[in-house]
């Protein structure tokens, strides 16, 4: 059944959108990532204009993280204080990101920016996560206890230290704010929640325990993507609510299934699986940049717009 | 008075006496949520007071075009090993949709001069002045190629059925990725490559219902639209997870 999307101005199969939403939703629930890093490129592939894909993804992630965040709040696996600190940075970053997005859109380089950001971030994070997870699995096989990740020296010497009781850590607020800003910029530019960068940053940089990481990141993502949606809606008019609703109906149901699957798997297994998916998406996008495209010309809205 | 009337009659040569009368199966296209393209049937006849002239046969051209807007065409080039947008040409005005159909091969239907005067063929319908880059025709060619691939530009020579130089009919398929606006259909009657008569009619392509409401709200009250989008998303998210819980217990 084809459906005409009012803002994207294209006609797409509604079941394809529901299916995409469901598939990405399962991953979203399992890993505590918004799933946008997978959904946004998939939307490009089915012919949604990139600007609409990025803005609409932000709207969809609000909903998919909402149900996930609720589930984690009930299980008390959210560090609210840390969430608010990350959120403060996220709002600043999102505002900055939309500015960058609009400036590059005007000179026709926004797609390059989006693709390059994906390749760089997904490649780095995916590679690091993969190596770490392999080491962890090897450790558990040889029977040695897993070491607690050491915080970097920088985190210890920075001022404005405060206690995050739920996480059981005592660190400066500067690193979480910086992580929040970075995630906010990425949310606005790439149409992602930023979980794929925030989750590893929380574990390796902030030294938070794994059990509160997913809930806290969902909490922050929900608000930052909400703010990003409003910014894109008011400056670009690119949020397609019909597209978002179709994606999220599939996505929310998928997320519920995914959360339950995730609870049964071990943290190392989860991380190695996520890293493989991240690397696959990165590889596909890198290939698109390196291989000569079949059509080297592209159309954009004219200068008169 | 009588002499004047006679003069008018004489001045109007048999060529000018042929007039095109045409209509469309629909002059209003409504883009609804389940819009999946539309087909317009175009038909008409040639009205004449005198017998059909015995010389070259009459031909007909029909164009259906969407509102024109400026377009930037960009070309990728390999820089530092990756493919990036390098050069760009601003096309001042290109129709968002353009279909042209003829009753015979192009060179039998119309001369270049007449084409230039009435902007009938697809490259003529695109205006690109002041392009500063060498080889800018590559860019307009690319524009036509890309839009032809999306079914937005259609060039169909010989697609008009023209019977006994009087009755004609054809159809134009409007694709699903149509943009709204004031469209128009133009009819050109030609003989020996010269335009004998022309006729123009409007087609109204509009989003209606929910499509219209959402599109207008997103442009006129973007903040309200944004808040509404968030509210719908959160309600649907909460609702679906609540439904899932009820379903499980």
In terms of pTM, does the model score above 0.90? no
Question: ipTM score of the complex?
Answer: 0.77
- Residue A305 has a pLDDT of 38
- Residue A48 has a pLDDT of 86
With beta carbons under 8 A apart, name residues in chain B contacting A112. 84-85
φ, ψ of residue A68 in degrees (nearest 5) = -65, -45
What are the average pLDDT values for consecutive 10-residue runs of chain A, which has 305 residues? Answer: 82 88 82 74 81 88 79 86 91 92 82 83 83 81 58 64 78 87 89 80 83 87 91 89 86 79 77 83 85 80 52
Q: Is A47 left (phi over 0), alpha (psi -120 to 50) or beta?
A: left
Contact across the interface for A108 and B85, Cβ inside 8 Å: yes
- Residue B11 has a pLDDT of 46
- Residue B170 has a pLDDT of 92
Give the pair of three-digit tokens for residue A33: 């990532």
Contact across the interface for B234 and A304, Cβ inside 8 Å: no
With beta carbons under 8 A apart, name residues in chain B contacting A253. 240, 244
Give the pair of three-digit tokens for residue B215: 């599109």
Residue of chain B whose Cα is closest to the Cα of A286: B82
Q: Does B45 touch chain A (CB under 8 A)?
A: no
Q: What is the pLDDT along chain B (249 residues), one digit of tens a residue?
A: 555 554 444 444 444 578 888 888 888 888 887 788 888 999 998 888 877 777 778 889 999 999 988 888 888 888 888 888 888 888 888 888 999 999 888 888 888 888 888 888 888 888 766 555 566 778 888 888 989 988 899 988 888 888 888 899 999 998 888 888 899 999 998 888 888 888 999 999 888 888 888 888 888 888 999 999 999 888 877 777 777 778 776
Q: Does B105 touch chain A (CB under 8 A)?
A: no
Query: Any idea what DSSP says for residue B165?
Result: T
Mutation for testing the B interface, residue in A55, A296, A301 having most B CBs under 10 Å: A296
Give the mean pLDDT of chain B: 82
């Amino acid at each position: 059944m084809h459906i005409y999307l009012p803002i994207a101005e294209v006609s797409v199969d509604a079941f394809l959108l529901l299916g995409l939403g469901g598939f990405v939703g399962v991953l979203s629930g399992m890993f505590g990532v918004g799933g946008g890093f997978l959904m946004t490129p998939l939307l490009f592939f089915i012919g949604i204009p990139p600007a609409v894909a990025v803005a609409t993804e932000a709207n969809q992630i609000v909903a998919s993280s909402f149900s996930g965040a609720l589930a984690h709040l009930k299980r008390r696996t959210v560090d609210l204080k840390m969430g608010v600190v990350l959120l403060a940075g996220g709002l600043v970053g999102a505002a900055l990101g939309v500015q960058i997005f609009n400036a590059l859109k005007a000179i026709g380089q926004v797609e390059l920016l989006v693709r390059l950001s994906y390749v760089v971030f997904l490649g780095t994070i995916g590679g690091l996560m993969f190596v770490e997870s392999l080491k962890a699995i090897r450790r558990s096989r040889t029977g040695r206890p897993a070491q607690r990740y050491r915080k970097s020296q920088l985190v210890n010497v920075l001022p404005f230290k405060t206690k995050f009781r739920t996480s059981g850590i005592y660190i400066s607020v500067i690193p979480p704010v910086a992580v929040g800003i970075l995630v906010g910029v990425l949310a606005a530019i790439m149409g992602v929640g930023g979980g794929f960068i925030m989750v590893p940053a929380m574990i390796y940089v902030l030294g938070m325990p794994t059990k509160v990481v997913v809930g806290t990141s969902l909490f922050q993502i929900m608000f930052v993507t909400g703010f990003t949606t409003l910014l894109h809606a008011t400056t670009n008019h690119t949020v397609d609510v019909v597209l978002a609703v179709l994606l999220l109906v599939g996505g929310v149901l998928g997320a519920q299934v995914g959360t339950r699957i995730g609870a049964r798997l071990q943290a190392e297994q989860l991380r190695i699986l996520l890293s493989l998916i991240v690397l696959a998406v990165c590889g596909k996008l890198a290939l698109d940049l390196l291989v000569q495209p079949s059509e080297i010309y592209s159309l954009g809205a004219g200068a008169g717009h | 008075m009588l002499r004047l009337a006679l003069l008018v009659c004489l001045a109007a040569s048999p060529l000018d006496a042929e007039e095109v009368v045409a209509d469309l199966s629909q002059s209003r296209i409504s883009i609804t949520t389940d819009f999946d393209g539309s087909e317009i049937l175009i038909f008409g006849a040639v009205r004449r007071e005198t017998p059909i002239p015995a010389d070259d046969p009459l031909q007909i051209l029909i164009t259906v075009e969407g509102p024109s807007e400026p377009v930037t065409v960009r070309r990728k080039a390999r820089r530092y090993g990756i493919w990036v947008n390098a050069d760009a040409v601003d096309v001042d005005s290109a129709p968002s949709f353009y279909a042209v159909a003829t009753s015979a091969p192009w060179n039998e239907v119309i001369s270049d001069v007449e084409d230039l005067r009435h902007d009938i063929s697809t490259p003529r319908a695109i205006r690109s002045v002041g392009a500063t880059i060498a080889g800018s025709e590559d860019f307009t060619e690319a524009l036509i190629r890309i839009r032809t691939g999306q079914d937005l530009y259609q060039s169909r020579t010989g697609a008009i059925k023209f019977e006994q130089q009087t009755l004609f009919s054809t159809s134009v398929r409007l694709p699903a990725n149509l943009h709204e606006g004031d469209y128009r259909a133009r009819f050109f009657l030609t003989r020996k490559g010269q335009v004998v008569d022309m006729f123009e009619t409007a087609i109204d392509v509009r989003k209606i219902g929910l499509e219209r409401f959402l599109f207008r709200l997103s442009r006129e009250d973007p903040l309200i639209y944004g808040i509404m989008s968030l509210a719908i998303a959160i309600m649907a998210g909460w609702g679906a997870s609540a439904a899932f819980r009820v379903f499980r217990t």
